[in-house]
Amino acid sequence: MEPAMKTTPAQTWDENVVLSVEHLTMRFGGLVAVNDLSFNVGRGDITALIGPNGAGKTTVFNCVTGFYKPTEGRIVMRHGAGLQTDKIEALTLTGRQFNDDGDDRVFLLERMPDFEISKRAKVARTFQNIRLFGGMTALENLLVAQHNPLMIASSMTIGGIFNLPGYRKARAEAIDFAAYWLEKTGLINRADDPAADLPYGDQRRLEIARAMCTKPHLLCLDEPAAGLNPRESTELNNLLQYIRKDHGTSILLIEHDMGVVMEISDHVVVLDYGQKISDGTAEQVKNDPKVISAYLGVDEDEVAAVEESLDMPVIHGKNDPADNSEGGQS
Amino acid sequence: MSAAAKPGLMADSVKDAAVAALLVAVLGFFFFALRTDIGTGGLDLTYRWGLWFIAIAIAFGGRLLLNLFVFKTSRPITGGMSISIPEGVMSGIGRVLGPVLLLIALTLPFIVMAVYPDRDRQFIDLAILIMTYVMLGWGLNIVVGLAGLLDLGYVAFYAVGAYSFALLAQYFQIGFWTALPLAGLLAAVWGIILGYPVLRLRGDYLAIVTLAFGEIIRVVLLNWYEFTGGPDGISGIPKPSFFGLDFSRTGGFAEFFGLDYDSIHRFIYLYYIILILALITNFVTLRLRKLPIGRAWEALREDEIACRSLGINTTNTKLTAFSIGAMFGGLAGSFFATRQGFISPESFTFLESAIILAIVVLGGLGSQIGVVIASVVMIGGIEILRNLGFLKEIFGPDFEPTQYRMLIFGLAMVLIMVWKPRGIISSRNPSAVYKERKKISSDMVAQGEGH
């Protein structure tokens, strides 16, 4: 990978990369939501994507998980170790979506439809506004996540209709796997309750459990701590640490709660106005003057100067572009 | 107005008045409707339906007016009734209802023959009609109830099935039992062909386009005169045989089994054919619901975006729902053709789609038993209107109750939507259980696109 920033010696996430976003640009009509963004997500790391509201974080997520087709750029997902640069360059030239290399496959996510990204590239995600199947039980939610292996086990429904032993076994295993994740997220007692009946914090954890049931290599969490109380936030931290350690799943998360970000992240990428303004460890980012100015706002005269140049009336006291300036100070 | 001040007053009052009217109907039946006079050699029974009906109407109207303008209570006495029924009793009824209905359905022709020996043909024919709608309702339930795709053109597949059989019989002399699977297959293929471009749309757009496709099929059948006979339809469609035995006067079913020839045999046979077809539809639907594909349909109804984030190919999943629903519609259509012996595009108007959809919605989206209840009430209800000759005593000889059937239909729908907005049976049964099976209340279940 090219040295993205003028940063210090190569970091671990530049050497053992699971996902690399390269020169990603996303335009909606005239609006440039993400502009020439490049960053790496290290294998086994917890990477946080932070930035003020409207910085383009969720847009990046939607590009990575295939819900948006990026205007420009390349998004590479690697299942095998190492950078595999030659393989990726060769694949890019062929026009194919991924190569068939057994366990060492690489995927060009910007070419793949959203459901294939989850199915083949093994990138799972959660949503900013929870998207559970409210009328289905917690257990059913986790079974839906195991749809593809179960479809194969039911020989595309034919074997399932006749309840063949192969399908019965796969079904029992799927329920066990779901129960395992319900146990881990502390929801096992609510397994047979409809998801819409669960309290908010439980719903957030259930969504993570559901994403984990797709057996992902990379888990993308869009504001997992939003709306959680401090105790629930701590539980979430422990859950994410557990997922990373015991399942080797890399985590990419968007978060506003700086407590969560600073505590668990190995690597923090800061966006503002669709551009990367900082990239490094939590400690490095915290002390980066650009980050501080993005979060706390710039000097009032500078705002006035910009507004003047745009021929706008000067509004005083509106020099804070971010809504969680208090978070930046932690 | 007091009605405006208290939301729910109108609904409660109507409910309360309906209960009062029902009580009068039951009690008054013996006092008003039946009259016994001493006649020659015993008692003479005379019916006074008009009097009975007037009594019910007075009770309903009076009670309604009292509730609205005198009592003005937001909780009429019957308000407590629905609450006081314990949950266990209702689920107990639910558990027993299915097997009881099945038992009745299995023995129905013989019950009818024993109870109404002189009108058995009419009643069995009605049962066949109701059962056809039950099957259509179950078929559409896969598309609308499970997958949450609002299909306003379901009758198109009914038509494809009916015409497939009729044309195969006309041009290739193919019998019912050979044509049946072919008709189902053709309808399923049509489901895929129509579904592929259509299913990219969502909600209202999907509803409008399916409606248009339903009409296109009908208009093609109407105008392709050389092939389909156009408005003249196709007649002389063969009747199904019983393992090669026809239901004819000589050398057929009756002679083989040493029975006296009776045309009722064919009606009973047709009844059992549609019963078995409907039960297969039900069985397959119930099985599919517990399989990954059925769970994916329901997940699709709940949240399509979440489905895609979990690696479910939503286009294919929708197409399977659409084509399996279409297949059952096609099977029912081919049965319809053989029962009628004559089909024309007139049988496949939008009204049919609307009735089938109404059955599914009134019964409760996704509920199998609700579809049965709704079909019996709706199709049976229309037939009852034909037998209300006594109303002529009240409204004069020109009164024709069947002319009011759409009005009554609409009123019934409004009443049910007030009383139970999510259909008669609205709770959902989970498809997989970890420890304890709990019903899911309808408030939580999404209704899918276009509702």
DSSP string for A75-110: EEEESSSS--HHHHHHHHHHT-SB---TTS-EEEGG
Please indicate whether residue B170 or residue B39 has the higher confidence score (pLDDT): B170
Is A132 in a helix, a strand, or coil? Answer: coil
Structure tokens at B257: 């089994």
CATH 3.40.50.300 domain position(s) in chain A: 12-122+216-328, 130-214
* Chain B nearest-CA residue for A127: B306
Average pLDDT over chain B reads: 82
| Residue A73 CA from chain centroid, whole number | 18
- The arithmetic mean of pLDDT across residues B311-316, rounded, is 90
Indicate the residue of A118, A143, A157 with minimum beta-carbon distance to B432.
Answer: A143
For residue B311 the two structure tokens come to 């690696």
* Interface check B314 vs A, CB under 8 A: yes
Mean pLDDT of the region B290-301: 91
Residue A4 confidence (pLDDT): 45
CA-CA-CA-CA torsion sign (B257, B262, B266, B269)? negative
In angstroms, rounded to a whole number, what is the distance separating the alpha carbons of residues A22 and A73?
6
- CA distances, B205 to each of B198, B211, B299, B348 (Å): 9, 10, 21, 22
Mutation site for B-interface testing, chosen from A127, A137, A139, A206 by largest number of B Cβ within 10 Å: A137
Read off the pTM.
Answer: 0.79
Look at strands B342-343 and A72-78 and give their pairing: unpaired
- pLDDT attached to residue A309: 61
| CATH no., domain B91-419 | 1.10.3470
- Residues of A whose CB is below 8 A from B441: 194
Q: How many CA atoms lie within 13 A of B133 on its CB side?
A: 27
Is there a contact between B432 and A137 if contact means CB atoms under 8 Å apart?
A: yes
DSSP-based three-state secondary structure for A23: strand
Decide if A137 and B430 are in contact by the 8 Å CB cutoff: yes
Cross-chain CB nearest to A150 (options B292, B305, B433):
B292
Q: According to CATH, where is 1.10.3470 located in chain B?
A: 91-419
Contact A140 B312 (CB under 8 A): no
Of 3.30.565.10, 3.40.50.300, 3.30.450.40, 3.10.50.40, the CATH number of A12-122+216-328 is 3.40.50.300
The answer to whether B53 and B390 have CB atoms below 8 angstroms apart is yes
Radius of gyration of chain B (CA): 24
Q: Where are the alpha helices (DSSP H) in chain A?
A: 12-15, 57-64, 85-94, 114-119, 138-144, 147-153, 158-161, 165-184, 200-212, 230-247, 258-264, 282-286, 289-296, 300-309, 325-328
- What is the per-residue burial (b if ≥16 Cβ within 10 Å, else e) of B121-159? bebbebbbbbbbbbbbbbbbbbbbbbbbbbbbbbbbbbb
Q: What are residue A76's phi and psi, to 5 degrees? A: -110, 130
Predicted confidence (pLDDT) per residue in A149-194, tens digit: 888 887 677 777 777 777 888 888 999 999 999 998 888 988 888 9
Amino acid at A148: N
Q: Do A150 and B440 touch (CB under 8 A)?
A: no
Identify the residue with better confidence: B319 or B403: B319
Res. B187: pLDDT tops 90: yes
| Closest chain B C-alpha to A192 CA, distance in angstroms | 6
A268 touches chain B (CB under 8 A): no
CA distance A71 to A328: 31
Residue of A nearest to B288 (CA): A161
Yes or no, beta carbons of B430 and A139 under 8 Å apart: yes
Give me the pLDDT at residue B136, please. Answer: 94
* pLDDT digits 0-9 by tens, B190-223: 999 988 888 888 778 888 998 999 999 999 999 9
Percent of chain B with pLDDT over 70: 89
Answer yes or no: do A193 and B434 touch at CB < 8 A. Answer: no
The predicted-structure confidence for B233-288, as pLDDT tens digits, reads as follows 888 888 887 777 777 767 677 777 777 777 788 888 899 999 999 999 999 998 89
Closest CA in chain A for residue B306: A131
φ/ψ (deg, to 5) at A107: -125, 140
| Minimum CA–CA partner of B310 in chain A | A145
CA-CA distance, B326 to B212, in Å (whole number)? 16
Q: In 3-state terms, what secondary structure has residue A220? A: strand
Q: How far is B316 from chain A (nearest CA, A)?
A: 11
The top-scoring range by mean pLDDT among A259-263, A321-325, B81-85, B188-192 is B188-192
The nearest CA of chain B is from the CA of A171 a distance in Å of: 9
Q: Is A48 helix (H, G, I), strand (E, B) or coil?
A: strand
C-alpha span between B257 and B62 (Å, rounded): 59
3-class SS string, chain B: CHHHHCCCHHHHHHHHHHHHHHHHHHHHHHHHHEEEEEECCEEEEEECHHHHHHHHHHHHHHHHHHHHHHHCCCCCCCHHHHHHCCHHHHHHHHHHHHHHHHHHHHHHHHHHHHHCCCCHHHHHHHHHHHHHHHHHHHHHHHHHHHCCCCCCCCHHHHHHHHHHHHHHHHHHCCCHHHHHHHHHHHHHHHHHHHHHHHCCCCHHHHHHHHHHHHHHHHHHHHHCHHHHCHHHCEECCCCCCECCECCCCCCCHHHHCCCCCCCHHHHHHHHHHHHHHHHHHHHHHHHHHHCHHHHHHHHHHHCHHHHHHCCCCHHHHHHHHHHHHHHHHHHHHHHHHHHHCEECHHHHCHHHHHHHHHHHHHHCCCCHHHHHHHHHHHHHHHHHHHCCCCHHHHHCCCCCHHHHHHHHHHHHHHHHHHHCCCCCCCCECCCCCCCCCCCECCCCCCCCCCC
Burial (Cβ within 10 Å: 0-12, 13-18, ≥19) of residue B234: buried
Count Cβ neighbours within 10 Å for each residue of A30-66 and write b for 16 or more, e otherwise: eebbbbebbbbbbbbbbbbbbbbebbbbbbbbbbbbb
Interface of A with B in 64-83 (CB under 8 A): 65, 67
Q: What angle do CA B252, B255, B257 make, to 5 degrees?
A: 105
With contacts defined as CB-CB under 8 Å, which chain B residues touch A116? 311
Mean pLDDT for the stretch of residues A100-127: 85
Given CA atoms B59, B65, B71, B75 in this order, what sign does their dihedral have?
positive
pLDDT at A299 over 70: no
Q: Choose between A243 and B45: higher pLDDT.
A: A243
Place A307 in a pLDDT band, splitting at 50, 70 and 90: low
- Predicted local distance difference test score (pLDDT) of residue B4: 43
Interface of A with B in 130-159 (CB under 8 A): 131-137, 139-140, 143-148, 150-151, 154, 157
Inform me whether the C-beta atom of residue B291 falls under 8 Å from chain A C-beta atoms: yes
Write out chain A residues lying below 8 Å of B292, CB-based: 143, 146-147, 150-151, 154, 157, 160
What are the tens digits of pLDDT across the range A22-47?
A: 999 999 988 888 888 999 898 888 99
Q: Determine the residue of chain B that is closest to A189 in CA distance.
A: B435
Nearest CB neighbour to A194, from listed B291, B309, B444: B444
Q: How far is A156 from chain B (nearest CA, A)?
A: 8
Residue B81 — very low, low, confident or very high, per pLDDT cuts 50/70/90? very low
Q: Which of B343, B272, B298, B277 is nearest to B137 (CA)?
A: B277
CB contact under 8 A, A137 and B446: no
* Residue B426 C-alpha, separation from nearest chain A C-alpha, in angstroms: 12
Q: Which range in A105-109, A292-296, B6-10 is most confidently predicted, on average pLDDT?
A: A105-109
The pLDDT assigned to B275 comes to 93
Mean pLDDT across A241-250: 88
Q: What is the pLDDT of residue A7?
A: 47
A-interface mutation test, from B142, B434, B437, B443, most A Cβ less than 10 A away:
B434
Lowest mean pLDDT among A261-270, B156-165, B427-436: B427-436
Residues A147/B310, Cβ–Cβ less than 8 Å: yes
- pLDDT digit string, tens, across residues B318-331: 999 999 999 999 99
Task: Name the residue facing B296 among A135, A144, A182 (closest C-beta).
Answer: A144
Region of B72 please: left (phi>0), alpha (psi -120 to 50) or beta: left
> Residue with structure tokens 């319900």?
A182
CATH topology for the A130-214 domain? Rossmann fold (3.40.50)
Tell me which chain B residues have a C-beta less than 8 angstroms from the C-beta of A121: none
Higher local confidence (pLDDT), B118 or B305 = B305
Six-digit token pair at A169?
Answer: 């076994």
Residue contact A115–B311, C-beta within 8 A: yes
Tokens for A250, please give them.
């890399």
* pLDDT top residue among B92 and B424: B424
Residue predicted with more confidence, B89 or B246? B246
Q: Which of A63, A140, A208 to mutate to test the interface with B (most CBs of B within 10 A)?
A: A140
Closest alpha carbon within chain B to A162: B287
Size of interface A-B (CB pairs under 8 A): 140
Distance CA B367, CA B321 (A): 16
B292 to chain A nearest CA, in Å? 6
Nearest to B295 among A65, A115, A143 (CB): A143
Which chain B residue is nearest to residue A188, measuring alpha carbons?
B434
Indicate the pLDDT class of residue A315, thresholds 50, 70 and 90: very low
Mean predicted lDDT score pLDDT of chain A: 82
What mean pLDDT do residues B367-378 have? 87
* Region for residue A86 given its phi and psi (left: phi exceeds 0; alpha: psi -120 to 50; beta: otherwise): alpha
Residue A91, pLDDT above cutoff 90: no
Q: Which residues contact B409 (CB under 8 A, 6 or more apart)?
A: B358, B378
In angstroms, what separates the C-alpha of B382 from chain A's closest C-alpha? 35
The residue among B287, B310, B433 with the most chain A CBs within 10 A of its CB, best to mutate, is B310
